[in-house]
Amino acid sequence: MAAMARTPLEPRSSFDLHRELAIPKKYLQRLLTTLSKRNLVRSVRGRGGGYLLSSSPKSIVLADVVDAVQGLDREPQCFFGFSACALDEPCPMHDRWSRHQRAVLRTLSRTRLADIVPPAKAR
């Protein structure tokens, strides 16, 4: 999506994205389908078609992208993988881990796609 955000008004074909980003074609196709279903990108048919961001890079937050692609837990999860820590006897990592998880979520929620757009490569 960051590569698409460099030229947000120009559709990017999946082949061009595959070539530029070195992402396997099948995986990229799945990503684009998932992002499309979540209304983060849209496809443009026909000659010169491809994929476009559905919104301005300034209005897309990274938390939405991560949530679409791999899911994003909005509540801190147990470091050891337990379904829940007992509040009266939390695991030894509970406080530290939940603090870091909240910090990551806060960062993803405050960072916009426009903030991480890489510079355009010389063609």
Q: What is the pLDDT along the chain (123 residues), one digit of tens a residue?
A: 999 999 888 999 999 999 999 999 999 999 999 999 999 999 999 888 899 999 999 999 999 999 999 988 777 777 777 776 666 677 788 888 888 888 999 999 999 999 999 766 655
Residue 122: the pLDDT is 54
Start-to-end C-alpha separation, the chain: 19
Q: What is the pLDDT of residue 81?
A: 74
User: What pLDDT score does 63 carry?
Assistant: 95
Q: What are phi and psi of 42, to 5 degrees?
A: -140, 150
The answer to whether residues 30 and 41 touch, using CB atoms and an 8 Å cutoff, is: no
pTM: 0.80
Angle, vertex CA 106, rays to CA 102 and CA 107, nearest 5 = 120
Kindly list the domain boundaries of the chain, sorted by start residue: 2-116
**Structural class in CATH, domain 2-116:** mainly alpha
Whether 44 and 52 have beta carbons less than 8 Å apart is answered as yes
State residue 20's pLDDT score: 92
